[in-house]
Amino acid sequence: MSHPGSEGSPFKDGFAALWHEPALLAAELAWRWCFGFAAWALVIISGGLFLDSLRLSRADEFLLGTFQPQLLSEAVQHIFRGSLTRFVLEQSVLLLGVTLLWCFAATVGRAATLRRLVAMFSADDEPGPMTWQFVPIFVLHLLRAAWSLIAVSVAIACLVIGSVMAGKNHAGVAALWLVSGTGLACWFGAALNWFFGVAPLFCIRNGASAMDALAQAVDFVSRRSGRLFLLGLGFLPLRLVWLGTMTLAMFAPLSLARHLAAGWVLLIMAAIALLYCAGADLLQLARLAAYVSLAEDDAHPVPAPEPEQPAEIAPAVDQA
């Protein structure tokens, strides 16, 4: 790893930090995967309880057994009649619970990894004690989750409005909603989501509050926009290559369906999906370490070399 202030390569520093401290990846996978398994368990349990609450009459069973599209549609409408409000309420509570669970897990996990990364890249020989800053980081994650939900809702609303306008033969208005509205919603959502993701670094490094950390993140981006853009260009091909490779690997076991049971094929595909998630988390953590290295370089810039002074000319000595 390059020493802070040496203007080294943050891209190399990100991977060097993971090589130097493998426990960072283990901690990252622990909190991410624990949250993922818990969230999927809640979704499956919630869906099972909802389906268990539905009542099927003999007529519904008969209609479902016919496998006729029109009769199946009538049976499904009759089964779910009057349960839409309850389903929406249950899913709203589930979404709120999963969001809060993610905020708690991300706060603890991100605080732990950032404390270690900041200590690794610190320019001080004996860095002072760092606080965990749980409350500011939790607030930032709440704002990040809320903004993500708002951006997704706006994008869906633009898609719905554009589809309705297209059905009414308003091609220009439909294109405006579908392209401009959805595109702007996704762009603003991704941009602010990135700022909220970087701001916890300044909570740990500078002990800043949530709003101060967000302001420092904006100021950091304004000063180092060029190097941050190059970092993004460096990590983007890695993520795309990893995604493409693991996608091909995930569908490869389908060719073994003739020789293996369906359960084994699904198990192999699930293992490959977990391997992809582990690689994606590694790249995400390496990028975060690169941001920490760049932040230290920004805080301790390399001093400009002093211009060389012209050599003094010795006065001529009169021999007489």
Tokens 């020989």 found at: 125
pLDDT in tens, the chain (320 residues): 555 444 568 999 999 999 999 999 999 999 999 999 999 999 999 888 888 877 777 777 777 777 777 777 777 777 777 677 888 888 889 999 999 999 999 999 999 999 999 988 886 655 556 678 899 999 999 999 999 999 999 999 999 898 888 888 888 888 888 888 888 888 988 888 999 999 999 999 888 999 999 999 999 999 999 999 999 999 999 999 999 999 999 988 888 888 888 888 899 999 999 999 999 999 999 999 999 999 988 876 655 455 555 555 555 555 54
Counted residue by residue, the chain has a size of 320
Residue at 212 is within a domain: yes
pLDDT of amino acid 320: 41
- In whole angstroms, what is the distance from residue 67 CA to residue 302 CA? 73
What pLDDT sits at residue 306? 57
The C-alpha atoms of residue 208 and residue 215 are separated, in whole angstroms, by 10
Tell me the whole-structure pTM to 2 decimals. Answer: 0.84
How many domains, the chain? 1
Query: Could you list the residue range(s) of the whole structural domain that residue 156 is in?
Result: 131-223
Q: Say which residues have a Cβ less than 8 Å from residue 154's Cβ, sequence separation at least 6.
A: 181, 185, 189
In terms of Cβ atoms closer than 10 Å to its own Cβ (0-12, 13-18, 19+), residue 144 is: buried
* 171 lies in some domain: yes
Give the pLDDT of residue 115: 92
Start-to-end CA span in the chain (Å): 64
pLDDT at position 51: 80
Whether 266 maps to a domain, the answer reads no
276: Cβ–Cβ under 8 A, 6 or more apart, which residues? 242, 243, 246, 250
Task: Name the H helices within 168-257.
Answer: 171-175, 182-206, 210-223, 225-251
pLDDT of residue 311: 52
| SS3 label, residue 304 | coil
- The reply to whether 161 falls in a domain is yes
Q: What is the pLDDT of residue 316?
A: 53
The residue type found at 270 is A
- Asked whether residue 26 is domain-assigned, the answer is no
206 inside domain: yes
DSSP state of 318: P
Q: Mapping DSSP to helix (H, G, I), strand (E, B) and coil, where does residue 257 land?
A: coil
Q: Is residue 291 part of a domain?
A: no
Please report whether residue 181 resides in a domain.
yes
Helix (H) or strand (E) holding 270: helix 262-299
Query: What pLDDT is stored for residue 54 in this prediction?
Result: 78
